[in-house]
Amino acid sequence: MIEIAQITALLGLDPDRTVTIGQVPSGSVLRKPASRNMWEVIESGDDSADVDEMLRQVCGRLSPVREEIRSLRDAGCEVMVSVIQYLSAADRTGPGFSLDSATLEFISFIGAELDVDQYVIE
């Protein structure tokens, strides 16, 4: 198993958040302890945030190290792009999002899975 410090050293980037095995991730809806170490970069916004743009920003931040991320995937690490979207009547951008071809290409190149969770709040 690759340790969080090893991922940071390989990528030359500091994560926005880390979670170690057994720790309950902050903001977890299920409050379930992590079954693996996690190294994360995060973009977040309010009800006017454009999810499409936030995905482009994450890909832009990680693009310089795309080869290194791919090598982590090839070494057995799980690589995932996760979108968590809270939907309400107050949203100014409406529900959903789209992925442009550059974002799709980046996700594909690094060998990432795409996980989308959408929650309706009242």
Chain segment 53-103, per-residue pLDDT in tens:
889 999 999 999 999 999 999 999 999 999 888 888 777 777 778 899 999
CA separation for the pair 101, 107 (Å, rounded): 10
| pLDDT, greater one: 86 or 15 | 15
Which residues sit opposite 80 in a β-bridge? 113
| pLDDT, greater one: 85 or 33 | 33
Sort residue 22 into left (φ over 0), alpha (ψ -120 to 50) or beta: left
> Look-up: residue for tokens 């945030």?
49
